[in-house]
Structures are given as C-alpha cells and as structure tokens.
Structure 1
Amino acid sequence: MPLVFSDQDLQTHNTLGLPARAAVATLDDESAIPDLCEALSSGRETDAPLFVLGGGSNLVVAARPRRRVLRVALRGIRLWRETTTHWFVEAAAGEPWHGFVDHCLSQGWPGLENLALIPGTVGAAPVQNIGAYGLELDQRLHSVVAWDLRAGRERELRADECGFAYRDSLFKRDGAGRWLIVRVRFALPKAWAPRLDYPDLRDYPGLGSPTGGAGEIPSPRSIFDAVCDIRRRKLPDPAVQGNAGSFFKNPVIDAGQADRLRHRYPDLKAYPQADGRVKLAAGWLIEQAGWKGRRLGPVGMHERQALVLVNHGGAQSADVLALARAVRADVQARFGVDLEQEPVVLD
C-alpha cells in the first residue's frame, strides 16, 4: 500500500518536547518501500526531501519543518543465525532500543547490557553509533540492512562498510533522506565477558553477582540493572522533562593542547585515545564554564548533568539552538575547545 503523507503533530515524537507539525507518513511494512523509491526517482515526490525519523531522541525539530517525515515503525526481533562463537540477532528498525536490549538478555544473548536505557530505536542506533559505559555500538554490530533511496535498492552493509566513528557513521554523513535502515544485525559473543572499565560501573556497589557475593563474575543482568540505575540517577527522564540526552559530543584534541590545558586546569577530565589524541569530558568543560543548572529562557543545562540540555516548558527550536550557541561560545572562550552538538536539526 502506498505511503500517504499527511499533516501531523510531532511534539510527542521528539524527546525535547518541541512543538512541531510536518507532513508525516508511517512506515510499518517494508513492502511500501519500492513504490516510495519509484516515486522519488520519477519525480512524483519532489515537494521536499525526506527525513527518516526513529524515536526522536536525538533531534531538534523546527515548528514547521520543510522536509517531509518518514516515521519508521517496523517491528520484529529474531535469532538470525548462530555459530559456535556468536548469536547473530536481527531487529527491525522501529524496535525501541532499550526493549531490544532487555529482550536479548531475557533470551540469554548478552553483550549489549552496557547500552541499556538509551532512548530511541534500533534503526537510529547505527546512525549515531551510540555508546555508553565503555561500549560502542560498532563493537557489537554485524551488519545493517538499508535502502539506498537515491539508487532505489536494498543493501546489506557490513560493520566495516558503515564508516563508524565517534557518534558518527556513513548514514549520518551522507545526509538525511538517502538511507532508510530497515533491519540491524548484531554479533553477540558466546564467550561473554563483563565490560566494567567505565568508572561508574567499576565503582558501583555490589555490582556483578546475583547474590551480591564479592569476587564473583558480574552477570549481564546485574550490569543492565546497574546501568539503568546510574542513568536514572544522573539523567532526566524525557517523559518527565524534555531532553535529548547528551547534547554535545566529548571533544577530541591533540596531546599538546591537552597538556597545556592540564597545566592550567589540573582537574581536567581527559582520556588518552589509541591514536595519540585526548578525549575531554564535555560535561566537565560546560560545568567549569558556569552552565551547569543554568537557564536561558525556557531551556537550560541540567542541574545534575551539565551535558544534558533540558526543556523547562514551552521551548521552541530557536531557544534550544540559542542556548547551544551560548554554551559553545563560553567553552571556546575559556578553553579554546570547540563543542559539536549531537542532535540533528530538522528544519
């Protein structure tokens, strides 16, 4: 059945809770995609470029975006195949990410527990190359099944073909409207080992044993529960207070600049990278610049986590972008470091 775009409210489809209306169609059946590609290639769909929407958790949306919105609601999870070393699990792009992680654990397929409680959908996860608590998505991803809407064909891209980088991917760099991810496949290791390098997990009291015993190997479920608890204590719930999670990327700078900053700021939060550069904690920079808990009109940086921009009520996209510019300017003026925002803009 052909997709039909109609004027719809998007306020409940972006976690910042910004008021917006756009021409929206919902994709819940892959059989509609070939017709969409044919319409795009023939010029029948020329009103405005497409924007593919997942859970809206990484989005700043204008009140009346010019782009049409394709909301992905494809569902389904299956064990795609199994080897002696891995479970290969496939999930449809519209599956809620946190529910997918929980489902994998319930089936005895660990490996994604460090990424618990991240908002959004499975299909959006590779676009941003999500990561948290010492694990990046590309470390567990096998392949992505996506339609190249420009070429009008479905492709399977291996992990090494996705152009993954820190909070970045081929799907993000190629621009909105080209790639429509329909399924994502994960390689979950049977020789599972806990990932507890991140300080919040390493220091979590009693983590690891279902019985709480000291020295026992943590269970995947106990790590999942710990991550959920840590995130709930540190981060606001988008259902209660509008936000898009971490609003800025942690900047990566060269070692020389990091050394100069350490000389001026001995408490600088800095982490050496494999390529010799140094990653800084954007939240620490923002807090030192005086923005933790500070408001600018109806928006502000969260009082417990300076990296999270929150909507205190009634905000528009212009308010969000004005605050982002102010924070970036103050961090640049104080530290000489450029911050890059994570959420994409739908205008």
Structure 2
Amino acid sequence: MPLVKSAPRVLENVSMLPYNTFGIDVSARYFVEINHLQEYIELVQTGNYAHVKHLFLGGGSNLLLTKDIEALVVKIQMDGIEVVDEDADHIWVKAGAGVVWHDFVCYAVDHHWAGIENMSLIPGTVGAAPMQNIGAYGVEIKDTFDHLDALNLTTMQLERFDTARCAFGYRESYFKHEGKGQYLITAVCFRLNKQVEPQTSYGAIQSVLAEKGIVNPGINDVANAVIEIRQSKLPDPKEIGNSGSFFKNPTLSAEAAAELIKGYPNIPHYPVEGSSMIKFPAGWLIEQAGWKGYRSGDAGVHAKQALVLVNYGHAKGNEIQMLSEQIKKSILEKFGVVLETEVNIL
C-alpha cells in the first residue's frame, strides 16, 4: 500500500445547512472537503473511515435531507477547466467535478462554444450533471457529452465512461442504477460546437428574444433569455429553500397517453425522441390538482411553478417529503399517473 502523505482533515458533527439548497438543518457525523482526487485516495488509505458509508456531495441542489447523516460526507471541490482537443467544428473541454455548472456554461458562452447555453442557471456541479443527465429547454447533457473520468471505489482506479457506458435516459444514467455508489466522478469532458446553431424552439425562448427585438440570436442571447425565464419562474435558493424541479415529467405509452388526452384535451404533451412514449409536464398536473401555492407550515408548493417544492424557512425534510407523497397520491387519484421524484431523498 502506498505511503499516505497528508490525508485531508475530517470534521465531526457538521451542520449541513450551508450545503443543501433546500436549507435543511441536519448534522453530518463526519465531513471532509476534497480539492484533489489524491486527497480522497490518501483518506481511504488511512482506513480510519472504512466503517461508515461515504456520501459524495456536489452543490447539494438535488437533495432532500430528512435526518442526520450517519456517514462521511465528502464535499467534492475539484475544479479546473481545460481544452483537451479541437478540430475545425468542435472543441473538447474538460471540467473538474466540483466546478459550478452555471460557471461552466458561462465559460463556454464567453468563449463562443455552443451546445450547453440552454442549460444556463441549472443549479449543481459539473460532476453531478451526468448522473441524472440534466437538461432544459430542449437540450440534455448527453447531446454534448464526450466522456467522464470516475474513480472505481472498489479498485481505487480511474475509469473512463463514454456515452454508451453512461446509459443516459430522461434524468437517468448508469450512475443512478447499476453504478450507484460504486464510482466517484472526478471530471467531465464535453464536445462543444464552434459553429453556432441556437436552439430556440422550446419553451418561451423565442418570445423572450422577440420582445427584445433579437432576430438572429447568438448563444449569449439564448443564455440570457434562459436565465431571464428561469429567474421569473423559479425561486432563488438563497431566498427560498428549494431544489428546482422536485418531480420528473411523467412519460406514458402511446395508448395510456391517448386515454389521458381524451379525458383532458387541453393537457400539454410532447413526443419523447427516439421512442413512442409521450411526455407530460408534471407541473401542469400538479397545478390542475390544486397544489400550486399550497403551504403547510414552512413546507409548500411554489406560487409560480407547481413543480417546485419549497422551504419557507424552518421546514424539516420529512415535512417536505410528506407533502411530496400527498401530491403524488393526489395526481394518481385524479389522472391515473404515477409521479417520480427527481430529487434524491436521504
């Protein structure tokens, strides 16, 4: 076994309040910040924390904490952005897992590299992004993803994952299923476009651009439009605790979708690319069921976007979880549709 140089300092009984966007105040039994992969390897080599689970944490923006964490919380801080290759049409850019996702988007936009501008202002880190194949306004991670590097937690060796190995789906990946808890993502590489072909057909992007008199938008215009839309609809976690979209948009078979549309002719719906499935907006279902703006104590449903559950101050995680279960039951009874949570509940 290699000689341990200097394992990072591990803290005990640390409040998680600053480390989750829902603003839930629970305690982590152990807590450590990792700035370089070697620090984590050296920590493991000490063997001091082999008796507890290791919970990897990015931006804490897709997490609902319902109790104290009897584990070692490993806060991933690995940063750095570098160009690793390019040709006439594309540029390959690698970012450390701890880089803030929106900062990475801004970096790409500033350099006129296209492909991820529609995902502006999505909370979280680069390392967490491929885990659930984040997406917004017609674009997903898989569209520009090239590969990622991840530490195999059994062998402690780095492995490379290409698109096929990641098994991306709608808010899904290998790392949420077969590979769950088996890897630590350390860096992600994207193939971005030098030729700009803005995607403006989804949501309100076109109308926002039209209001500004922008006819031939660049990626900066699209990014700004997306930011404006998101800020108008979604609460700032610094002001109201939340983790963005709490539920996935449900997808139904063509037959089940036809039945739902028959009962609710005005329901919005979209075909799922590459399949016969039909996607329905969970926010619409929740709003139609009367939950938009609902509040019980400090746990509630946002007044402007029913897909977002919020903590108005001192809600406990299990109170928000209970509210989510009530909503799921309501949607099943009214529409016959099963809602799945997008947020990880611990």
CA root-mean-square deviation: 1.6
Task: Give me the whole-angstrom Cα distance separating, in 2, the residues matched to 1:207 and 1:3.
Answer: 52
Give 1:37 shift: 4.6
**2:136 corresponds to:** 132
The number of aligned residues is 338
Structure 1 pair 292/213, CA: closer, same or farther in 2 (3 Å)?
closer
Would the aligned equivalents of 1:87 and 1:109 in 2 still touch at CA under 8 Å?
yes
Letter of the 2:255 partner, please give it: G
Q: Could you tell me which residue of structure 1 aligns to residue 19 of structure 2?
A: 13
Aligned pairs (5 A) from 1:12-51: 12-22=18-28, 23-38=30-45, 44-51=48-55
Q: Is the contact made by 1:62 and 1:316 (CA closer than 8 Å) also made in structure 2?
A: yes
The equivalent residue for 1:279 is: 279
Asked whether the equivalents of residues 196 and 218 of structure 2 are also in contact (C-alpha less than 8 Å), the reply is: no
What does residue range 162-311 of structure 1 map to in structure 2 within 5 Å? 162-174=166-178, 177-206=181-210, 212=213, 214=215, 217-273=216-272, 274-311=274-311
Q: Which moved more, 1:333-342 or 1:144-153?
A: 144-153
In structure 1, C-alpha distance between the alignment counterparts of 2:246 and 2:231, rounded to whole Å: 17
Name the amino acid aligned to 2:206.
R
- Tell me which residue corresponds to 1:88: 92
| SS at structure 2 position matched to 1:182 | strand
Distance in structure 2 (CA, Å) of the matches to 1:213 and 1:227: 14
User: d(CA) in 1 for partners of 2:182 and 2:85?
Assistant: 29
Secondary structure in structure 2 of the residue aligned to 1:160: helix
Specify which of 51, 70, 73 is matched with residue 69 of structure 1: 73
- Give, as a single letter, the amino acid of the residue that structure 1 aligns with 2:38: S
Q: What is the one-letter code of the residue matched to 1:15?
A: T
1:141 to 120, 145, 150: 145
Given that 1:126 and 1:137 are in contact with CA atoms closer than 8 Å, whether structure 2 keeps it comes out as: yes
- Counterpart of 1:118? 122
Structure 2 residue aligned with 1:156, among 153, 160, 163?
160
2:338 and 2:67 map into 1 onto residues whose CA distance is: 28
Instruction: Say whether residues 1:4 and 2:5 are aligned partners.
Output: no
Mapped partners of 2:289, 2:211: distance in 1: 34
Instruction: Map 1:312-327 to 2 at 5 A.
Output: 312-327=312-327
Deviations 1:125-148 (A, max 9, x none): 111110001100110111011101
Aligned partners of 1:213 and 1:116: how far apart in 2? 19
Q: Percent identity?
A: 38
Q: Secondary structure at the match of 1:67?
A: strand
AA matched with 1:285 = L
Change (3 A) 1:81 1:134: same
Q: Which runs of 5+ in 2 are unaligned?
A: 1-5
Judge conservation of contact 1:38–1:152 (CA < 8 Å) in 2: no
Q: TM-score, normalised by structure 2?
A: 0.94
**For residues 41 and 183 of structure 2, what CA distance do their matches in structure 1 show?**
13
Mapped partners of 2:211, 2:197: distance in 1: 14
Inter-CA distance 152–205: structure 2 relative to 1 (3 Å threshold): closer
Correspondence for 1:333:
333
- Segments of structure 1 that go 5 or more residues without pairing to the other structure are none
Q: Secondary structure at the match of 2:319?
A: helix
